[in-house]
Amino acid sequence: MSKDLRKNLIAAILSPLIALPVLGFCYFYAGIENYTSVSSLISGVGFGVSIGVGSLFYFYPLMLIYGLPISLLLQKLNLFKLPVVLILSILPVFLLSLFSEFNRETLVLHLLVLSMGLTSWLIYNKLR
């Protein structure tokens, strides 16, 4: 296995895990906005992390089917730079949001996809 393919596989395996803290933070923010009690805030964050664990079953195949080939193609074309990675990572969600109403869930999905693209790029560039 080549070094670049190994680095891409590691980045594709680790980058969807960013969904857990991002969704936890989003539910924390939503809990503060609708603050009623500390226990409801903690249960909201727990619910966000559990939604994140469930969404990993969606994000892992998406990363392996869409993200990994795109990153390999960008590296082959010498375009594996952060702005290009972020634009191509958000493109499917952006196209989906053109046909639906833009609401908080869509915003969270945009945030998740951007954070996964950023995390994948950072992991790839930090591995030796």
| pLDDT tens digits for range 51-110 | 788 888 888 888 889 988 999 999 999 999 999 999 999 998 888 888 888 787 788 888
| pLDDT tens digits, 116-125 | 999 999 999 9
- Number of domains present in the structure of the chain: 1
Q: How would DSSP label each residue in 34-94?
A: T-S-HHHHHHHHHHHHHHHHHHHHHHHHHIIIIIHHHHHHHHHTT---HHHHHHHHHHHHH
Whether this model's pTM surpasses 0.85: no
Q: Please report the pLDDT score of residue 46 as a whole number.
A: 80
**Whole domain around residue 110: which residue ranges?**
3-126
Ranges 5-9, 45-49, 96-100, 118-122: which has the least confidence: 45-49
